[in-house]
Structure 1
Amino acid sequence: MSDRIFLMNKGEIVQQGEPEAIYTHPVNEFVAGFMGHYNLVEAAQAKSLFDLEVNSKVAIRPESIYVREQGRQYGEHVSAPRTGIIKNHQLLGNVIRYQVDVDDCELTVDLLNRSSERLLSVGSQLELLFNLNEIQPVRA
């Protein structure tokens, strides 16, 4: 892979930089979707889910959402827990991808597939935590 990327949309450069910087800080929805899967959350939902005041949509990657584990300590950069209900799951080899409904917002959550014992069933409730350092505002 290149050490510098120029991402174009309709003949215009929309973002340039190192691959990691583009992946972690996309400037708009196009870049976020091009560089992998993102959850796009409306500004009003961001307030309710993350307690963030924003004027635009925000993006959070599925791997930046954690399932709360009893006894584990989380840093200050992690949100308060939000209860969600699993709507669907998909086995993707070493990753389990869940579709989770949280406060009428459907989010994709990726967890490492450590064993079949870890598979959470459709309809199960779980508590989600969000890495606030990895939530990015994005333009349309």
Structure 2
Amino acid sequence: MKPIRELNKLRDLNKQLLSLSEAALGLVKLKEFEALEDIWPKRARLIRSLEQVNRRLNPFWGKWSEGLASLSVAEDQKAREIVDQVRKMCQSVLNLDRQMNQMLLSFRDEEAKQLNRVNQAKKLFNAYHPRDPVLSAPDQISKLR
């Protein structure tokens, strides 16, 4: 295994994940929830790919200092830079996801309040406008009387 090549894959996959997270947040801000259905499967595939790369890098992560010692000075520096970039991208993805989560929870609460108001209005309407048994289906008449 070549750690620099795997670290580059890790960085590239994290860039793609960050890009999708930014797109998802933009869609949530625009309340384009249906469009999110296209993004979730892509994110899931990226996350599975990230897991595979991390599994391949697991021996390297476990012996980080030994792994770096086996690299040349230039590769050592490159590996550290890539890991720092990946760490920053991961933090950005987490922050975007937290932001999106808060917005989605807020939208959910607004929708629940609106649905509650609609249900209350229906009950009030039905209280003042009782259903005429003649207009009811035959099997419903006995329930209305």
TM normalised by structure 1 equals 0.18
Structure with higher Rg: it is 2
TM normalised by structure 2 equals 0.18
Greater strand content: 1
